[in-house]
Amino acid sequence: MDMNVAVVGAGSWGTTVAHLCAHNVPTLLYSRREDVAEAINERHENPRYLEGYQLHPDLRASTDLAAVVGQADVLVMGVPSAGFRQTLVDIRPDLRPWVPVVSLSKGLELGTRKRMTQIAEEELPGHPVGVLTGPNLAKEILAGNAAAAVVAFTDHTIAERLQEVFSSSLFRVYMNTDVVGCEIAGALKNVIALAAGMADGLETGDNTRAAVMTRGLAELTRLGVAMGGRPETFAGLAGMGDLLATCISPQSRNRYVGEQLGRGRSLDEIIEEMNQVAEGVKSAKIVLELAEEFGVEMPIASEMRAVVTEGRSAMRAYRGLVQRPATHENAPD
């Protein structure tokens, strides 16, 4: 394909997506760290985030943001939600018109409660924006295990073209035009993953964890549909698929934070030792604000907000959920 891809953000997932793209098109990865860019270029690895995993030999990295963005026919944003807007502002002078922007971030902006594609539309007007999302654990993909994802754009033609860019023989990419649903599912599942991790930390058993995931899916579906997403999106890869992977995998940062909270550790202590972002911690408060705005009951998310913002213990949070009266399964909790 006659196309150049720029990936901004050399964390574990940004690097992995750049690795996938490099199989199909010339790909340049932006890293803020000189040592990371050097390791990718010279040894084809990212030891800071993906130690022991080999990257595609054609993948190149640079610390020059303007140079990376200036040659892009497709811009992929692998930046956490907290720095997403400012990075777009920094990119704007060097990005050519009409270049599609793909967000990898599964978070919401503090203060505005906006999705990443909404921020991209504000900061980069005229650029088509969409997301790549799904049950995708970086190390499993780099290990050569099969996986699937969704690329979502309202423009089907763009989604179809980008499907070819991201796909490989073991990474199957489906198309979707429900950008809102795909994006909301990715942000909300991180909050539910905190609860699933707590179940592990409290050693409550698989029955409890299954109940949390199932009722969590119901919660995020209700809010997502209220915000304009399509119900079937939440039953697919962007919804249920991503939720399951994030809730059960030892590689999941959000599940890990929940597990450690369940074992009695403080949130500050857990976050301090991590070198990557657990988006669910920041999203919990925003999700409840959205739920209140759209009139949606979200008891699991409510307890998670209390844990991460008010210091409520994991045990107290679970007792609060258990003590809620049961209603019809298909009715709001």
166: number of Cβ within 10 Å: 22
pLDDT band (50, 70, 90) for residue 163: very high
CB 245 within 8 A of CB 228: no
Question: Are both 217 and 85 inside the same structural domain?
Answer: no
In a domain, 332, yes or no: no
Minimum mean pLDDT among 135-144, 211-220, 313-322: which range?
313-322
Sequence-distant (≥ 6) Cβ neighbours of residue 325 within 8 angstroms? none
Q: What is the tens place of the pLDDT at every residue in 45-64?
A: 999 999 999 999 999 999 99
Q: Considering only CA atoms, which of 88, 96, 48 is closest in space to residue 70?
A: 96
Q: What is the C-alpha to C-alpha distance for residues 122 and 267, in angstroms, rounded to an integer?
A: 33
pLDDT band (50, 70, 90) for residue 109: very high
Q: What is the tens place of the pLDDT at every residue in 279-331?
A: 888 888 999 999 999 999 999 999 999 998 888 888 888 776 765 556 666 66
Q: Of 121, 154, 177, which residue is a domain's last?
A: 177
- Quote the number of domains for the chain: 2
Question: Are both 194 and 134 inside the same structural domain?
Answer: no
> Residue written as tokens 């995931």?
213
* pLDDT cut 70: percent of the chain above it: 95
pLDDT computed for residue 220 by the predictor: 93
Question: Are both 92 and 159 inside the same structural domain?
Answer: yes
Q: What CATH number is associated with residue 67?
A: 3.40.50.720
pLDDT computed for residue 282 by the predictor: 85
Q: How far is CA 253 from CA 20, 50, 168, 235, 246, in A?
A: 22, 14, 25, 23, 8
Question: Are both 23 and 92 inside the same structural domain?
Answer: yes
Q: What CATH number is associated with residue 206?
A: 1.10.1040.10
Q: Of 156, 177, 198, which residue is a domain's last?
A: 177
Domain boundaries, position 40? 5-177
Question: Are both 132 and 59 inside the same structural domain?
Answer: yes
pLDDT computed for residue 151 by the predictor: 98
Question: Are both 52 and 109 inside the same structural domain?
Answer: yes
CB 230 within 8 A of CB 178: yes
Q: Is the pLDDT of residue 230 over 70?
A: yes
Q: Is the pLDDT of residue 1 over 90?
A: no
DSSP annotation of 239 reads I
pLDDT computed for residue 103 by the predictor: 98
pLDDT computed for residue 278 by the predictor: 75
The H or E element that residue 120 is part of is helix 116-123
For the segment 2-22, the average pLDDT, to the nearest whole number, is 96
In a domain, 76, yes or no: yes
Question: Are both 170 and 211 inside the same structural domain?
Answer: no
In a domain, 12, yes or no: yes
* pLDDT cut 90: percent of the chain above it: 78
Q: What is the C-alpha to C-alpha distance for residues 153 and 159, in angstroms, rounded to an integer?
A: 6
Catalytic residue set? 189
Q: Considering only CA atoms, which of 319, 195, 313, 301 is closest in space to residue 248?
A: 195
Question: Are both 238 and 151 inside the same structural domain?
Answer: no
pLDDT computed for residue 326 by the predictor: 60
321: number of Cβ within 10 Å: 17
Question: Are both 189 and 271 inside the same structural domain?
Answer: yes
In a domain, 146, yes or no: yes
Q: What is the C-alpha to C-alpha distance for residues 181 and 3, in angstroms, rounded to an integer?
A: 28
Q: Of 153, 177, 201, which residue is a domain's last?
A: 177
Question: Are both 188 and 90 inside the same structural domain?
Answer: no
pTM, two decimals, is 0.91
Question: Are both 194 and 169 inside the same structural domain?
Answer: no
pLDDT computed for residue 38 by the predictor: 98
Q: What is the C-alpha to C-alpha distance for residues 280 and 233, in angstroms, rounded to an integer?
A: 20
In a domain, 195, yes or no: yes
Question: Are both 218 and 316 inside the same structural domain?
Answer: yes
Q: Is the pLDDT of residue 162 over 90?
A: yes
Q: What is the C-alpha to C-alpha distance for residues 257 and 274, in angstroms, rounded to an integer?
A: 9
